[in-house]
Amino acid sequence: MKKPCLTGLFVVASMTMAITAAAAADLTVTLTGIRSQDGRIMVAVYDRADTFMKLGQAIAALDLAARGDEITVVLADVKPGAYAVSAYHDENSNGELDSNLIGVPTEGYGFSNDASGAFGPPSFDGAAVRTADGRAVATVTLGY
């Protein structure tokens, strides 16, 4: 009876660990244009066009204290792919993006890549950032 080749098993195990480690990425999200220290900054991260901007479909949702004029957060170990970020500044802490009588937001909001849509949110592809070299960087400027 032949003995199993432990060297071969070690190589396969090492390759599997290397592939797994290479698969994880960090998504860094920088929020700029925060005009006051009142309320909360609400952030949602999506990984698919068909779930983008749909309630309860974000892969990550963050509720951050408004502090300074810029906030950076890192989502560690996300899978490789494309991500779109939406955010708004809930200045009065009522849990929603307030708007005026004709529906124009009165609180700051924005999307990754500072993407915008003609009459509503941008497309997922317009806002998407893709992981490269184990990381992705998204910048969202909160416009008013």
pLDDT above 60 for 16: no
Residues comprising the chain, all counted:
144
> Higher confidence at residue 64 or residue 118?
64
- Which DSSP symbol is given to 92? T
Q: What is the pLDDT of residues 106-122, one digit of tens each?
A: 999 999 999 998 888 99
Residue ranges of domains in the chain? 24-141
pLDDT of amino acid 140: 98
pLDDT of amino acid 17: 41
Phi, psi of 11 (to 5 degrees): -65, -45
Q: What confidence tier does 15 reach under pLDDT thresholds 50, 70, 90?
A: very low
The encoded tokens of residue 67 equal 């502090």
What's the CATH fold of domain 24-141? Immunoglobulin-like (2.60.40)
Phi, psi of 47 (to 5 degrees): -120, 5
